[in-house]
Chains A and B, each alone.
Chain A
Amino acid sequence: MNIRTVAEILFIASLFLILVYAMIGYPDIGFVRPLGEFYLYNSFNESNSTWWSAAPNALTGLLWDYRGYDTLYETMVFYIGATAAVIFFERAVPLRQSKGMSMIVRASAKLMFIFITTTAIVITIFSVKTSGGGFQGGSILAIAYIVILVALSKGFLPYLKINIERAHLIRILGLVIIIGLALTPVVFSLIMGINAYALQNQPKQWSPFGFPPFLGLRSLSGGNIIPLSIGEMLQVGMGFTLMFVLLTLKEDGEEK
Protein backbone atom coordinates (compact mmCIF):
# COMPACT_ATOMS: atom_id res chain seq x y z
CA MET A 1 0.00 0.00 0.00
CA ASN A 2 2.24 2.75 -1.21
CA ILE A 3 1.67 6.48 -1.23
CA ARG A 4 0.41 6.48 -4.82
CA THR A 5 -2.44 4.07 -4.14
CA VAL A 6 -3.43 6.04 -1.06
CA ALA A 7 -3.51 9.24 -3.09
CA GLU A 8 -5.63 7.62 -5.78
CA ILE A 9 -8.11 6.23 -3.29
CA LEU A 10 -8.32 9.57 -1.54
CA PHE A 11 -9.05 11.26 -4.84
CA ILE A 12 -11.84 8.87 -5.71
CA ALA A 13 -13.27 8.94 -2.20
CA SER A 14 -13.45 12.71 -2.21
CA LEU A 15 -15.03 12.63 -5.68
CA PHE A 16 -17.61 10.19 -4.37
CA LEU A 17 -18.36 12.33 -1.34
CA ILE A 18 -18.76 15.43 -3.46
CA LEU A 19 -21.22 13.67 -5.74
CA VAL A 20 -23.18 12.29 -2.82
CA TYR A 21 -23.30 15.76 -1.34
CA ALA A 22 -24.91 16.96 -4.54
CA MET A 23 -27.37 14.11 -4.53
CA ILE A 24 -28.55 14.95 -1.03
CA GLY A 25 -30.06 18.07 -2.47
CA TYR A 26 -32.05 16.11 -5.02
CA PRO A 27 -35.70 15.28 -4.54
CA ASP A 28 -37.02 11.86 -3.63
CA ILE A 29 -37.30 9.54 -6.56
CA GLY A 30 -40.60 8.55 -8.00
CA PHE A 31 -42.15 11.57 -9.66
CA VAL A 32 -42.15 12.68 -13.25
CA ARG A 33 -41.11 16.20 -14.06
CA PRO A 34 -43.60 18.50 -15.76
CA LEU A 35 -41.84 18.48 -19.12
CA GLY A 36 -42.15 14.72 -19.29
CA GLU A 37 -45.83 14.98 -18.49
CA PHE A 38 -46.16 17.56 -21.25
CA TYR A 39 -44.79 15.10 -23.76
CA LEU A 40 -47.02 12.34 -22.45
CA TYR A 41 -50.10 14.50 -22.60
CA ASN A 42 -49.53 15.97 -26.02
CA SER A 43 -47.85 13.29 -28.03
CA PHE A 44 -51.08 11.85 -29.40
CA ASN A 45 -53.61 14.45 -28.41
CA GLU A 46 -55.54 15.44 -31.47
CA SER A 47 -57.48 18.10 -29.65
CA ASN A 48 -54.26 19.94 -29.06
CA SER A 49 -53.09 19.67 -32.58
CA THR A 50 -50.49 22.42 -32.45
CA TRP A 51 -48.38 20.50 -30.01
CA TRP A 52 -48.95 16.91 -31.01
CA SER A 53 -46.62 14.61 -32.78
CA ALA A 54 -49.10 12.03 -34.10
CA ALA A 55 -47.33 9.21 -32.29
CA PRO A 56 -49.00 7.26 -29.47
CA ASN A 57 -45.58 6.15 -28.34
CA ALA A 58 -44.30 9.25 -26.61
CA LEU A 59 -40.75 8.01 -26.80
CA THR A 60 -40.83 7.69 -30.59
CA GLY A 61 -42.47 11.06 -30.82
CA LEU A 62 -39.60 12.48 -28.82
CA LEU A 63 -37.02 10.65 -30.85
CA TRP A 64 -38.08 11.79 -34.26
CA ASP A 65 -40.28 14.80 -33.75
CA TYR A 66 -39.71 16.84 -30.63
CA ARG A 67 -36.00 16.20 -30.38
CA GLY A 68 -35.48 14.85 -33.85
CA TYR A 69 -32.40 16.92 -34.50
CA ASP A 70 -30.64 15.19 -31.63
CA THR A 71 -31.52 11.82 -33.08
CA LEU A 72 -30.23 12.89 -36.47
CA TYR A 73 -26.81 13.53 -35.02
CA GLU A 74 -26.93 10.41 -32.92
CA THR A 75 -27.49 8.51 -36.13
CA MET A 76 -24.44 10.15 -37.62
CA VAL A 77 -22.45 9.15 -34.53
CA PHE A 78 -23.48 5.56 -35.09
CA TYR A 79 -22.44 5.94 -38.70
CA ILE A 80 -19.02 7.02 -37.44
CA GLY A 81 -18.87 3.98 -35.18
CA ALA A 82 -19.53 1.62 -38.06
CA THR A 83 -17.08 3.60 -40.21
CA ALA A 84 -14.42 3.06 -37.57
CA ALA A 85 -14.78 -0.67 -38.01
CA VAL A 86 -14.69 -0.22 -41.78
CA ILE A 87 -11.60 1.98 -41.79
CA PHE A 88 -9.65 -0.18 -39.45
CA PHE A 89 -10.61 -3.58 -40.69
CA GLU A 90 -11.67 -3.32 -44.28
CA ARG A 91 -9.77 -5.40 -46.70
CA ALA A 92 -10.58 -5.97 -50.32
CA VAL A 93 -11.56 -9.55 -49.81
CA PRO A 94 -14.48 -10.95 -51.73
CA LEU A 95 -16.80 -13.29 -49.98
CA ARG A 96 -16.44 -16.56 -51.74
CA GLN A 97 -19.26 -18.96 -51.98
CA SER A 98 -18.50 -22.03 -49.99
CA LYS A 99 -19.09 -25.32 -51.55
CA GLY A 100 -21.52 -28.04 -50.78
CA MET A 101 -24.50 -26.37 -49.23
CA SER A 102 -27.35 -28.75 -49.35
CA MET A 103 -30.67 -27.52 -50.58
CA ILE A 104 -32.41 -28.04 -47.27
CA VAL A 105 -29.92 -25.85 -45.51
CA ARG A 106 -30.23 -23.16 -48.13
CA ALA A 107 -33.99 -23.14 -48.08
CA SER A 108 -34.30 -23.08 -44.33
CA ALA A 109 -31.73 -20.35 -44.06
CA LYS A 110 -33.62 -18.23 -46.52
CA LEU A 111 -36.83 -18.81 -44.63
CA MET A 112 -35.28 -17.85 -41.33
CA PHE A 113 -33.80 -14.79 -42.92
CA ILE A 114 -37.19 -13.70 -44.20
CA PHE A 115 -38.80 -14.15 -40.80
CA ILE A 116 -36.19 -12.17 -38.95
CA THR A 117 -36.23 -9.38 -41.50
CA THR A 118 -40.00 -9.18 -41.26
CA THR A 119 -39.74 -8.86 -37.51
CA ALA A 120 -37.28 -6.04 -37.95
CA ILE A 121 -39.51 -4.16 -40.36
CA VAL A 122 -42.55 -4.64 -38.17
CA ILE A 123 -40.76 -3.37 -35.10
CA THR A 124 -39.60 -0.35 -37.01
CA ILE A 125 -42.89 0.60 -38.52
CA PHE A 126 -44.97 0.04 -35.43
CA SER A 127 -42.60 1.97 -33.24
CA VAL A 128 -45.11 4.78 -33.33
CA LYS A 129 -47.55 2.66 -31.39
CA THR A 130 -45.58 0.35 -29.14
CA SER A 131 -42.02 0.08 -28.02
CA GLY A 132 -39.49 -0.26 -30.75
CA GLY A 133 -37.90 2.06 -33.17
CA GLY A 134 -35.46 2.47 -35.97
CA PHE A 135 -32.44 1.52 -33.95
CA GLN A 136 -34.05 -1.55 -32.44
CA GLY A 137 -35.34 -2.66 -35.83
CA GLY A 138 -31.91 -2.15 -37.30
CA SER A 139 -30.30 -4.35 -34.69
CA ILE A 140 -32.72 -7.13 -35.48
CA LEU A 141 -32.12 -6.71 -39.19
CA ALA A 142 -28.44 -7.15 -38.53
CA ILE A 143 -29.20 -10.27 -36.52
CA ALA A 144 -30.76 -11.74 -39.63
CA TYR A 145 -27.41 -11.51 -41.37
CA ILE A 146 -25.38 -12.43 -38.34
CA VAL A 147 -27.39 -15.57 -37.74
CA ILE A 148 -26.61 -16.66 -41.26
CA LEU A 149 -22.98 -15.73 -40.73
CA VAL A 150 -22.57 -17.61 -37.50
CA ALA A 151 -24.64 -20.65 -38.24
CA LEU A 152 -23.75 -21.20 -41.80
CA SER A 153 -20.36 -19.55 -42.31
CA LYS A 154 -19.49 -16.62 -44.47
CA GLY A 155 -19.61 -18.47 -47.69
CA PHE A 156 -23.32 -18.30 -47.55
CA LEU A 157 -23.63 -14.57 -47.72
CA PRO A 158 -23.31 -14.33 -51.50
CA TYR A 159 -26.49 -16.39 -51.68
CA LEU A 160 -28.26 -13.56 -50.00
CA LYS A 161 -26.87 -11.18 -52.56
CA ILE A 162 -25.06 -9.12 -50.00
CA ASN A 163 -21.51 -8.02 -50.16
CA ILE A 164 -19.67 -5.25 -48.49
CA GLU A 165 -20.18 -2.67 -51.20
CA ARG A 166 -23.88 -3.25 -51.25
CA ALA A 167 -24.02 -2.96 -47.49
CA HIS A 168 -22.35 0.42 -47.74
CA LEU A 169 -24.90 1.47 -50.33
CA ILE A 170 -27.87 0.49 -48.22
CA ARG A 171 -26.37 2.23 -45.24
CA ILE A 172 -25.92 5.40 -47.25
CA LEU A 173 -29.43 5.06 -48.63
CA GLY A 174 -30.84 4.98 -45.12
CA LEU A 175 -28.94 8.11 -44.21
CA VAL A 176 -30.03 9.84 -47.41
CA ILE A 177 -33.65 9.20 -46.47
CA ILE A 178 -33.14 10.71 -43.05
CA ILE A 179 -31.21 13.75 -44.16
CA GLY A 180 -33.55 14.27 -47.08
CA LEU A 181 -36.53 14.37 -44.75
CA ALA A 182 -34.66 16.78 -42.54
CA LEU A 183 -33.94 19.08 -45.45
CA THR A 184 -37.41 18.92 -46.97
CA PRO A 185 -39.07 21.51 -44.75
CA VAL A 186 -36.19 23.92 -45.27
CA VAL A 187 -36.26 23.61 -49.04
CA PHE A 188 -40.04 23.85 -49.00
CA SER A 189 -39.88 26.98 -46.93
CA LEU A 190 -37.44 28.64 -49.27
CA ILE A 191 -39.43 27.80 -52.35
CA MET A 192 -42.95 28.43 -51.15
CA GLY A 193 -42.32 31.28 -48.80
CA ILE A 194 -44.00 29.76 -45.77
CA ASN A 195 -42.55 29.34 -42.32
CA ALA A 196 -41.02 25.95 -41.82
CA TYR A 197 -38.20 24.60 -39.74
CA ALA A 198 -35.84 21.74 -40.31
CA LEU A 199 -37.13 18.27 -39.50
CA GLN A 200 -40.65 19.50 -38.93
CA ASN A 201 -43.36 16.89 -38.68
CA GLN A 202 -46.83 18.23 -38.05
CA PRO A 203 -48.20 21.66 -38.88
CA LYS A 204 -48.31 24.19 -36.07
CA GLN A 205 -49.93 27.52 -35.54
CA TRP A 206 -46.81 29.42 -36.37
CA SER A 207 -45.51 27.16 -39.06
CA PRO A 208 -48.02 25.56 -41.39
CA PHE A 209 -45.81 22.99 -43.05
CA GLY A 210 -46.45 19.36 -42.20
CA PHE A 211 -46.59 15.77 -43.25
CA PRO A 212 -49.90 13.90 -43.31
CA PRO A 213 -50.38 12.40 -39.89
CA PHE A 214 -52.28 9.28 -40.84
CA LEU A 215 -50.97 7.09 -43.57
CA GLY A 216 -54.16 5.40 -44.63
CA LEU A 217 -55.23 3.55 -41.53
CA ARG A 218 -56.14 5.36 -38.37
CA SER A 219 -53.82 3.16 -36.41
CA LEU A 220 -50.76 3.96 -38.49
CA SER A 221 -49.75 7.50 -37.81
CA GLY A 222 -46.74 9.62 -37.31
CA GLY A 223 -46.20 11.87 -40.26
CA ASN A 224 -42.57 11.57 -41.19
CA ILE A 225 -41.70 9.43 -38.19
CA ILE A 226 -42.15 6.13 -40.00
CA PRO A 227 -39.96 6.94 -43.01
CA LEU A 228 -37.32 8.30 -40.66
CA SER A 229 -37.42 5.09 -38.66
CA ILE A 230 -37.10 3.02 -41.80
CA GLY A 231 -34.06 5.02 -42.83
CA GLU A 232 -32.55 4.47 -39.43
CA MET A 233 -33.29 0.77 -39.61
CA LEU A 234 -31.46 0.41 -42.90
CA GLN A 235 -28.52 2.39 -41.67
CA VAL A 236 -28.14 0.66 -38.34
CA GLY A 237 -28.79 -2.79 -39.70
CA MET A 238 -26.16 -2.54 -42.36
CA GLY A 239 -23.75 -0.84 -39.97
CA PHE A 240 -23.97 -3.68 -37.50
CA THR A 241 -23.67 -6.25 -40.26
CA LEU A 242 -20.56 -4.55 -41.59
CA MET A 243 -19.04 -4.45 -38.14
CA PHE A 244 -19.59 -8.12 -37.53
CA VAL A 245 -18.52 -9.26 -40.97
CA LEU A 246 -15.34 -7.21 -40.84
CA LEU A 247 -14.47 -8.26 -37.33
CA THR A 248 -14.68 -11.94 -38.15
CA LEU A 249 -12.65 -11.84 -41.31
CA LYS A 250 -9.18 -13.05 -40.71
CA GLU A 251 -6.11 -11.42 -42.19
CA ASP A 252 -5.95 -13.52 -45.29
CA GLY A 253 -9.64 -13.74 -45.84
CA GLU A 254 -10.08 -17.25 -44.58
CA GLU A 255 -13.34 -18.14 -43.05
CA LYS A 256 -13.15 -18.41 -39.34
Chain B
Amino acid sequence: MELQFVIMHLPYILVMLMVAICIYGAIFKSNIFKKILALYLFTDAVNLLYIIQGFRLGEAIPPTLLPELGLSEFVSRSVDPLAQYFVVTAVVIGLAEMSTLIALAIYTYRHYGTLETKKIKELRG
Protein backbone atom coordinates (compact mmCIF):
# COMPACT_ATOMS: atom_id res chain seq x y z
CA MET B 1 0.00 0.00 0.00
CA GLU B 2 1.77 3.09 -1.18
CA LEU B 3 2.18 6.23 0.80
CA GLN B 4 0.12 8.30 -1.60
CA PHE B 5 -2.86 6.01 -1.12
CA VAL B 6 -2.60 6.11 2.65
CA ILE B 7 -2.28 9.87 2.79
CA MET B 8 -5.22 10.38 0.49
CA HIS B 9 -7.38 8.08 2.60
CA LEU B 10 -6.13 9.11 6.00
CA PRO B 11 -8.99 11.55 6.68
CA TYR B 12 -11.47 8.74 6.05
CA ILE B 13 -9.69 6.46 8.50
CA LEU B 14 -9.52 9.11 11.18
CA VAL B 15 -13.20 9.90 10.80
CA MET B 16 -14.08 6.23 11.12
CA LEU B 17 -11.93 6.04 14.24
CA MET B 18 -13.95 8.89 15.69
CA VAL B 19 -17.17 7.15 14.69
CA ALA B 20 -16.10 3.91 16.36
CA ILE B 21 -15.09 5.67 19.56
CA CYS B 22 -18.37 7.57 19.67
CA ILE B 23 -20.44 4.44 19.14
CA TYR B 24 -18.46 2.82 21.95
CA GLY B 25 -19.24 5.78 24.16
CA ALA B 26 -22.91 5.84 23.29
CA ILE B 27 -23.54 2.16 23.90
CA PHE B 28 -21.13 1.08 26.58
CA LYS B 29 -20.60 4.04 28.85
CA SER B 30 -22.87 4.08 31.86
CA ASN B 31 -23.21 7.78 32.48
CA ILE B 32 -26.12 9.37 30.64
CA PHE B 33 -24.24 12.59 30.03
CA LYS B 34 -21.36 10.74 28.40
CA LYS B 35 -23.79 8.93 26.17
CA ILE B 36 -25.43 12.15 25.05
CA LEU B 37 -22.06 13.74 24.41
CA ALA B 38 -20.91 10.70 22.45
CA LEU B 39 -24.07 10.85 20.33
CA TYR B 40 -23.47 14.48 19.45
CA LEU B 41 -19.83 13.83 18.60
CA PHE B 42 -21.01 10.97 16.41
CA THR B 43 -23.15 13.40 14.41
CA ASP B 44 -20.14 15.70 14.22
CA ALA B 45 -17.97 12.86 12.91
CA VAL B 46 -20.40 12.14 10.13
CA ASN B 47 -20.52 15.85 9.29
CA LEU B 48 -16.75 15.67 8.97
CA LEU B 49 -17.13 12.77 6.59
CA TYR B 50 -19.44 14.85 4.41
CA ILE B 51 -17.08 17.81 4.39
CA ILE B 52 -14.13 15.60 3.50
CA GLN B 53 -16.03 14.12 0.61
CA GLY B 54 -17.01 17.53 -0.66
CA PHE B 55 -13.59 19.04 -0.49
CA ARG B 56 -11.60 20.23 -3.45
CA LEU B 57 -7.83 20.22 -3.55
CA GLY B 58 -6.07 23.33 -4.67
CA GLU B 59 -7.37 26.78 -3.88
CA ALA B 60 -10.83 26.02 -2.65
CA ILE B 61 -13.44 28.77 -2.48
CA PRO B 62 -16.86 28.65 -0.88
CA PRO B 63 -19.79 27.99 -3.18
CA THR B 64 -20.87 31.61 -3.59
CA LEU B 65 -20.66 33.19 -7.02
CA LEU B 66 -19.04 36.53 -6.31
CA PRO B 67 -19.19 39.05 -9.17
CA GLU B 68 -15.45 39.04 -9.82
CA LEU B 69 -15.38 35.31 -10.49
CA GLY B 70 -16.13 33.97 -13.89
CA LEU B 71 -18.51 31.06 -14.07
CA SER B 72 -16.01 28.45 -15.25
CA GLU B 73 -13.43 29.48 -12.69
CA PHE B 74 -16.09 29.32 -10.01
CA VAL B 75 -17.18 25.84 -11.01
CA SER B 76 -13.64 24.54 -11.14
CA ARG B 77 -12.49 25.95 -7.83
CA SER B 78 -15.45 25.83 -5.50
CA VAL B 79 -16.16 23.13 -2.97
CA ASP B 80 -19.17 20.89 -3.23
CA PRO B 81 -22.30 22.71 -2.12
CA LEU B 82 -24.29 19.52 -1.73
CA ALA B 83 -22.03 18.22 1.01
CA GLN B 84 -22.24 21.49 2.86
CA TYR B 85 -26.00 21.50 2.54
CA PHE B 86 -26.22 18.14 4.32
CA VAL B 87 -23.97 19.39 7.08
CA VAL B 88 -26.06 22.53 7.62
CA THR B 89 -29.23 20.47 7.83
CA ALA B 90 -27.65 17.95 10.17
CA VAL B 91 -26.30 20.63 12.49
CA VAL B 92 -29.76 22.07 12.99
CA ILE B 93 -31.23 18.62 13.49
CA GLY B 94 -28.48 17.68 15.91
CA LEU B 95 -29.27 20.76 17.90
CA ALA B 96 -32.89 19.73 18.23
CA GLU B 97 -31.81 16.22 19.27
CA MET B 98 -29.54 17.58 21.95
CA SER B 99 -32.20 19.93 23.24
CA THR B 100 -34.62 17.05 23.71
CA LEU B 101 -32.10 14.65 25.22
CA ILE B 102 -30.68 17.20 27.60
CA ALA B 103 -34.13 18.24 28.75
CA LEU B 104 -34.85 14.58 29.47
CA ALA B 105 -31.53 14.18 31.24
CA ILE B 106 -32.24 17.16 33.45
CA TYR B 107 -35.58 15.67 34.41
CA THR B 108 -33.97 12.30 35.06
CA TYR B 109 -31.52 13.97 37.39
CA ARG B 110 -34.35 15.70 39.22
CA HIS B 111 -36.22 12.45 39.71
CA TYR B 112 -33.43 10.03 40.40
CA GLY B 113 -30.66 12.23 41.72
CA THR B 114 -28.09 10.46 39.61
CA LEU B 115 -27.07 10.05 36.01
CA GLU B 116 -25.76 6.51 36.14
CA THR B 117 -27.73 4.03 34.10
CA LYS B 118 -27.10 1.27 36.60
CA LYS B 119 -29.03 3.20 39.20
CA ILE B 120 -31.85 4.34 36.90
CA LYS B 121 -33.46 0.98 36.64
CA GLU B 122 -36.86 1.21 38.23
CA LEU B 123 -38.62 -0.57 35.40
CA ARG B 124 -38.37 -4.33 35.47
CA GLY B 125 -39.03 -7.09 32.98
CA distance A131 to B84 in the complex (A): 12
Report which of A31, A44, A70, A243 forms a contact with B99, defined as CB distance below 8 A.
Answer: A243
Check: B41 CB closer than 8 A to any chain A CB. no
Q: Which residues from 80 to 94 on chain B have a C-beta closer than 8 Å to any C-beta of chain A?
A: 80-85, 88-89, 92-93
Chain B's closest residue to A37 (CB) is B75
Check: A206 CB closer than 8 A to any chain B CB. no
Q: Mark B94-120, 1 if CB is under 8 A from A, else 0.
A: 011111100110110000000000000
- Given the interface pairs A15-B23, A62-B85, the reply to whether A29 lies near B55 with Cβ below 8 Å is yes
Q: In the complex, which residues of chain B have a beta carbon less than 8 angstroms from the beta carbon of A67?
A: 85
Q: How far, in Å, is A243 (CB) from chain B's closest CB?
A: 6
Task: Bin chain A's interface residue count.
Answer: 35 or more
B93:A58 contact, CB within 8 angstroms: no
- Given the interface pairs A57-B65, A129-B64, the reply to whether A77 lies near B55 with Cβ below 8 Å is no
Check: A41 CB closer than 8 A to any chain B CB. yes
- Given the interface pairs A16-B17, A23-B12, the reply to whether A40 lies near B92 with Cβ below 8 Å is no
CA distance A13 to B66 in the complex (A): 46
- Given the interface pairs A23-B9, A28-B9, A30-B57, the reply to whether A88 lies near B103 with Cβ below 8 Å is yes
A84:B99 contact, CB within 8 angstroms: yes
CA distance A200 to B43 in the complex (A): 30
A35:B82 contact, CB within 8 angstroms: yes
Check: A104 CB closer than 8 A to any chain B CB. no
CA distance A61 to B74 in the complex (A): 15
CA distance A59 to B58 in the complex (A): 20
Q: Which residues from 45 to 87 on chain B have a C-beta closer than 8 Å to any C-beta of chain A?
A: 52-58, 62-66, 71, 74-75, 78-85
Q: How far, in Å, is B70 (CB) from chain A's closest CB?
A: 12
Q: Which residues of A contact B (CB under 8 A)?
A: 8-9, 12-13, 15-16, 19-20, 23-24, 26, 28-33, 35-37, 39-41, 43-45, 56-59, 61-63, 67, 70-71, 74-75, 77-78, 80-82, 84-85, 87-89, 129-131, 133, 135, 243
Q: Which 9 pairs of residues, A with B, have the shortest CB-CB distance? A: A81-B96, A30-B57, A36-B80, A16-B20, A28-B8, A23-B12, A19-B16, A56-B65, A81-B99
Write 22 A-B pairs (CB below 8 A) sorted by A numbering: A15-B23, A16-B19, A16-B20, A19-B20, A33-B82, A36-B54, A36-B82, A39-B81, A39-B82, A40-B74, A41-B75, A45-B71, A57-B63, A59-B63, A62-B81, A70-B89, A74-B93, A77-B92, A81-B99, A84-B96, A84-B103, A135-B92
